[in-house]
């Protein structure tokens, strides 16, 4: 019998983290959970630790350390707290594969540490590649660690590339649902409130990515993610609106042939595929039925209305630290919108301002990425008086 793959879930209390644990619980003969981490949700982290008995857990918010420690006192689970612990645990030998499911820039350092210590990565945290994709991919190649995408579009492309060896990609086609405001114009968007923007038509996800999907920033971040994952030029990445979210993305090869990966929108499938790659595991997730969804539609993205996507394409084209600046400003803007501090269209205005304010660097070092991130955050926050 093959030994169980030992999994570390960074961000285990989130949308991806909890679904990854569901997949693992259903395949307990194949996987064990060795690390769980959460930022604030101590109660769920404790419950998860009691069920899976990992080697250790990390609670990001240090004020909750004693609470978690006491709750797990009767178990062998080690408890750590704080940002540095997150990185240290990422470097431990007790696991084989990290599911990188922290949201935002905070995922970068632990993921880099995991790569440095030779762990395979199942990557949900797209911001890691948006911010420092060149450094992350270089390190992964140097350490010969696989980075297997969990983001559904990138998992689709990854699956389309299996068996293609060195066959050249002409382009990839990233599908986008269009979000809840597909077809709307700025005069509508200006009045959009948090609760409406949080209602995604096809996917149930964490708050930040749900807002990014409503503004189409998510698709822009995914274009940048794809560039690094699949070693593409900006003009090889096309976005197509596909409201049913059945085709998760496509690859067009040199001979014009297009391969697509399809299925119902359910993140458990790409999560499971990343965990079990190169194998597939039987499951009873609901299947796509051609008799039920008979029409698949395709449309152009409206870059004039959803200007976040245009800004992300600018960052993709220019490269350097511009995607890092875009990402940092966007994180601040999205959290301000979620707190009802700014309007829907203000998010775009803030990102645009940060992109023109923070100095451009063509080939940043890792430290320069951190500095650009901090500068863009501080500048954006100063504009909204946070
Ligand atoms: P979420 O908000 O539901 O969960 C985030 C997790 O990260 C939680 O466990 C939280 O405790 C932890 N976390 C938050 N801030 C942290 C910090 N500063 N330091 C350490 N940990 C922190 O988010 P999600 O929807 O699960 O998304 C996670 C990542 O996966 C994001 O990068 C997102 O873009 C990507 N992703 C998500 C989906 C989805 O369906 N949810 C799909 C594709 C990609
Ligand atoms: Mg996606």
CB of residue 58 inside a 6 A radius of ligand 1: no
- The whole-angstrom separation of Cα 374 and Cα 332 is 11
CB count within 10 Å of CB 188 equals: 12
What is the third-level CATH fold of 5-149? Rossmann fold (3.40.50)
**How far is CA 345 from each of CA 197, 212, 218, 324, 342, rounded to the nearest angstrom?**
12, 12, 15, 20, 8
**Which residues does 110 contact at the CB level (< 8 Å), separation at least 6?**
10, 37, 86, 87, 89, 90, 98, 100, 102
Q: pLDDT grade, residue 2 (50/70/90)? A: confident
Q: Closest Cα to atom 40, ligand 1: which residue? A: 205
> Is the CB of 125 within 6 Å of ligand 1?
yes
Q: How far apart are the first and last CA of the chain?
A: 55
What average pLDDT is seen over the chain?
97
Looking only at the bridges linking them, the beta strands covering 56-59 and 78-81 are parallel
Q: Ligand 1 pocket: which of 16, 105, 126, 373 to mutate (most atoms <8 Å of CB)?
A: 16
Does this model's pTM top 0.75? My answer is yes
Among candidates 292, 272, 289, 265, which has minimal Cα distance to 203? 265
CB of 115 shorter than 6 A to ligand 1: no
* pLDDT over 70 (residue 202): yes
Of the pLDDT bands very low, low, confident and very high (cuts 50, 70, 90), residue 120 is: very high
Q: Which CATH class is domain 320-386?
A: mainly alpha
When pLDDT is cut at 50, 70 and 90, the band that residue 204 belongs to is: confident
pLDDT digits (tens, 9 = 90+) for 298-324: 999 999 999 999 999 999 999 999 999
Please tell me if the CB atom of residue 101 comes closer than 6 angstroms to any atom of ligand 1: yes
Q: Report helix, strand or coil for 93.
A: coil
Name the residue at shortest CA distance from atom 16 of ligand 1: 39
Q: Residue 279 above 80 pLDDT? A: yes
Residues 6+ apart with CB under 8 A from 367: none
CATH 3.40.50.720 domain extents, the chain: 5-149
Delimiting residues of CATH 1.10.1740.10 domain(s) in the chain: 320-386
């Amino acid at each position: 019998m093959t030994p169980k793959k030992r999994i570390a879930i960074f961000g285990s209390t989130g949308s991806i983290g909890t679904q990854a644990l569901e997949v693992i619980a259903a395949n307990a003969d194949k996987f064990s959970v060795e690390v769980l981490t959460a930022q604030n949700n101590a109660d769920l982290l404790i419950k998860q630790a009691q069920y899976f008995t990992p080697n250790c857990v990390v609670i990001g918010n240090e004020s909750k350390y004693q609470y978690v420690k006491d709750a797990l006192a009767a178990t062998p689970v080690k408890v750590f707290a704080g940002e540095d612990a997150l990185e240290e645990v990422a470097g431990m030998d007790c696991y084989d594969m990290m599911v990188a499911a922290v949201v935002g820039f905070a995922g970068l350092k632990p993921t880099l540490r995991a790569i440095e210590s030779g762990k395979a990565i199942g990557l949900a945290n797209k911001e890691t590649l948006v911010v420092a994709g060149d450094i992350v991919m270089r390190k992964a190649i140097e350490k010969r660690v696989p980075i297997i995408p969990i983001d559904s579009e990138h998992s689709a492309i990854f699956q389309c590339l299996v068996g293609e060896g060195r066959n050249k990609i002409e382009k990839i086609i990233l599908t986008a649902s269009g979000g809840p405001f597909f077809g709307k114009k700025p005069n509508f968007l200006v009045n959009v409130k948090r609760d409406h923007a949080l209602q995604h038509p096809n996917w149930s996800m964490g708050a930040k990515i749900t807002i990014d999907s409503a503004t189409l920033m998510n698709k822009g971040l995914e274009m940048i993610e794809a560039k690094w994952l699949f070693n593409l030029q900006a003009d090889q990445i096309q976005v197509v609106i596909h409201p049913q979210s059945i085709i998760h993305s496509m690859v067009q090869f040199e001979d014009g042939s297009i391969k697509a990966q399809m299925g119902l929108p359910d993140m458990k499938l790409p999560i499971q595929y990343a965990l079990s790659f190169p194998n597939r595991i039987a499951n009873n997730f609901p299947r796509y039925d051609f008799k039920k969804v008979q029409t698949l539609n395709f449309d152009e993205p409206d870059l004039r209305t959803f200007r976040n996507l245009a800004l992300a394409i600018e960052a993709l084209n220019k490269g350097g630290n511009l995607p890092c600046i875009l990402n940092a400003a966007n994180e601040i803007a999205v959290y301000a919108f979620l707190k009802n501090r700014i309007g829907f269209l203000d998010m775009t205005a803030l990102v645009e301002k940060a992109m023109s304010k923070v100095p451009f660097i063509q080939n940043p070092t890792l430290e320069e990425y951190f500095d650009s991130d901090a500068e863009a955050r501080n500048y954006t926050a100063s504009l909204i008086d946070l």
